[in-house]
Amino acid sequence: MRVSTTPSAKDRQGPDAPARAQSLTQARAQAPKGSLTFRKPLPVAPFRVSNYGEEPITTQSHAEVFYLQKQVQAQTPMVILLEDGERVEGCIEWYDHNAIKVRGRTKTLVYKSSIKYMHKLGDAGQ
């Protein structure tokens, strides 16, 4: 015989579930027609970390957006130095909240979280 370790629906509702259901039924019966209806509350979502530990999307500054838009429109050759020391050269094709697509010798998708710094090709980071 198999024993279930998960609680049944009756156990999850709690001991006062029949009383709550009865009071809701009475409230619906007493409410005048066309009045507000009662609904079950929405279940609460479990806690989870958004973007896997990265900063929330709303923290992207307007200066960053303006700078990237300017480089995309002008097709400025850029150098992107990554955290691991790798160097990516090329023009920025597009960007979003988490990544930048660079067109150089190859097309490369670079996550913003892996970027140490970036500069225009002729500036040498100054």
pLDDT cut 90: percent of the chain above it: 43
By 3-state DSSP, what share of the chain in percent is helix, strand and coil, each rounded to 5? Answer: 35, 25, 40
Q: Give residue 26's pLDDT band: very low, low, confident or very high (50, 70, 90).
A: confident
Q: Residue 23: is its pLDDT beyond 80?
A: no
Say if 37 falls within a structural domain. Answer: no
Tally of domains within the chain: 1
**How deeply is 98 buried, as exposed, middle or buried, from its count of CB atoms within 10 A (0-12, 13-18, 19+)?**
middle
CA-wise closest residue to 119 among 79, 82, 91: 79
Encode pLDDT of 41-79 as tens digits. Answer: 666 655 554 555 555 555 567 888 899 999 999 999 999
Q: Residue 1: is its pLDDT beyond 80?
A: no
Say if 93 falls within a structural domain. Answer: yes
Check which CATH number belongs to the domain holding 85 and give it.
2.30.30.100
Say if 45 falls within a structural domain. Answer: no
Say if 114 falls within a structural domain. Answer: yes
Say if 30 falls within a structural domain. Answer: no
The pTM of the whole model exceeds 0.95: no
**Domain carrying residue 66:** 57-120
Say if 41 falls within a structural domain. Answer: no
Say if 78 falls within a structural domain. Answer: yes
Q: Residue 126: is its pLDDT beyond 70?
A: no
Regarding predicted confidence, which is higher, 101 or 32? 101
